[in-house]
Structure 1
Amino acid sequence: MIRKPSVAGLFYESNKSLLEENIKNIFNKTGQNIPTTPSNTYKTKAAIVPHAGYIYSGKTASYAYGDIARSGICDTVVIIGPNHTGYGDDISLTTSNTWQTPIGDVCVDSEFNNELEKINSNITFSPEAHIKEHSIEVELPFLQYISNIQKKSFKIVPIVITRQQKNFCVELAHSIYDVSKKLNRNIMVVASTDLTHYENATSAKNKDEKILKSIEDMDIDSLLNNINKYNITMCGYGPTITAIIYSKLVNANRSIILNYSNSGEVYNDYESVVGYASAVIKK
């Protein structure tokens, strides 16, 4: 079964050539050199990236994807996004074996999927969560673009989180780690999230700086405390927590904030913005 693109033509170009040209231009504008041959150190074990339309957050996302391109795309990329639609279960796996974008098809690591579902009772196969959800889909063209340049195939494990409580995320991170070890998979985790929503740029930046400090410190308790204390509307804190915990499990303890921006920068309208950040966690 193929999962068709849901937001092509809305969040990014629906035409393959235009989409590839758009991504190329984004990388060029941010100075991200995409090598034809990566270092293959695979030192980047997790990334935190935004998921808005490319006109808004593509620039910020490109910093993380540039780092991934230099480090090397792992055999399996676990992409975790928050649930914006309300459909699906607590932690939802896809039932599709292929995800499609205008650039082409990406295979799902079905073996990894099946093992996750077996070992964690919170994880279920729930296609409803994925059909219209954009937070994972928008990450794929960047990965495909890099993959095509480097002639390196990869598979994905798309996971949508509805219940983003700490205990769910801790268990999910451990499950991902355990399955990767059992299957001897070289993986990385991509956490998809935007930051503060619909506040003026100054307020958003003040709040988001607190979140970024928590990410840099890899401190999930301070991240959750900041969200609650300052009413920060970060949509993908669960995926972010999961990425941090997984990174610690594989002894990747160097969290680097690469870029921060907001949606107001596109049209110079800073009254009501969404904050975006990209970060990587490396060994």
Structure 2
Amino acid sequence: GIFDAAIILGPNHTGYGSLVSLWPSGAWETPLGRVEIDEGLSSRLLKEGAGTIEADERAHMHEHSIEVQLPWLQYVYRELKIVAIAMLAQDTETAKAIGEIISKIGGNIVIIASSDFSHYEPYPVARNKDRSVIEAIINLDAQELYRRRESLDSTMCGFGPIASAIVAAKEMKAKGATLLKYATSGDTTGDFSRVVGYGSIVMK
């Protein structure tokens, strides 16, 4: 279906900006054109999330985790507006709070959590670790995701955004999740000695 807006959650790799930083207004630009910020939805999230979510552009200036999702959205949804939230704080309490805030907003939205899985590990190691954390995501179990990430020493970067998406999805009555595709950089480059894992999962 067609959505009015996409709320994109990504990890903050740089350390700049607030603990949870929302880009409040204007537009972002890719080679495919401009993507407008949904200023009304952003304002509502800032109000609902006062004390947790802050209007702060600094976290986004050198961050890639959200912008890499935009070309795919532009290709499919020509006029879709976005809300961009970068998470420096990825602890369980913050992730839960953000998920609950988003679920209260409601509306005709899609929530996207941006993350890689394993980073630069041998293919068999990466695949086994990723399979385990993906299982927790498919079960919509945010706490288990954190447990497995820690016990496996997983290097996935966006566990907080994913946990927030799980919390929001469950609050919005999601019944489950499906893995659409899993692959590693080795599947493209042919170098399986040090790979990065990627997955696409739909919760609904």
SS of the equivalent of 1:189 reads: strand
Q: Which residue does 1:187 correspond to in 2?
A: 109
The offset of 1:95, in angstroms, is 3.5
CA–CA separation in structure 2 for the residues paired with 1:85 and 1:203: 27
Matched, 1:87 2:16: yes
TM-score of the superposed pair, with normalisation by structure 1: 0.70
Q: Which residue does 1:197 correspond to in 2?
A: 119
Matched, 1:156 2:82: yes
SS of the equivalent of 2:120 reads: strand
Q: Which residue does 2:159 correspond to in 1?
A: 237
Q: Which residue does 2:172 correspond to in 1?
A: 250
Q: Alignment partner for residue 59 of structure 2, among 104, 129, 133?
A: 129
Gap regions ≥5 residues in structure 2: none
8 Å contact kept, 2:179–2:202: yes
CA–CA separation in structure 2 for the residues paired with 1:132 and 1:233: 21
Letter in structure 1 aligned against 2:85:
I
Matched, 1:178 2:104: yes
Matched, 1:109 2:35: no
Instruction: Please give the per-residue CA displacement for 1:16-61, whole angstroms capped at 9, x wherever unaligned.
Output: xxxxxxxxxxxxxxxxxxxxxxxxxxxxxxxxxxxxxxxxxxxxxx
Cα RMSD (Å): 1.1
Deviates more, 1:243-252 or 1:171-180: 171-180
CA–CA separation in structure 2 for the residues paired with 1:265 and 1:164: 29
Q: How many residue pairs are counted as aligned between the two chains? A: 203
Q: Which residue does 1:208 correspond to in 2?
A: 130
Q: Where in structure 1 do 4 or more consecutive aligned residues deviate above 2 Å?
A: none
Q: Which residue does 2:93 correspond to in 1?
A: 167
SS of the equivalent of 2:164 reads: helix
CA–CA separation in structure 2 for the residues paired with 1:118 and 1:99: 22
Instruction: Please give the per-residue CA displacement for 1:166-222, whole angstroms capped at 9, x wherever unaligned.
Output: 111111111112223xxxx21110000000111100000010110111011111111
Instruction: Please give the per-residue CA displacement for 1:57-99, whole angstroms capped at 9, x wherever unaligned.
Output: xxxxxxxxxxxxxxx2310100000011111111100144111
CA–CA separation in structure 1 for the residues paired with 2:142 and 2:19: 20
SS of the equivalent of 1:198 reads: coil
CA–CA separation in structure 1 for the residues paired with 2:61 and 2:45: 20
TM-score of the superposed pair, with normalisation by structure 2: 0.96
Gap regions ≥5 residues in structure 1: 1-71
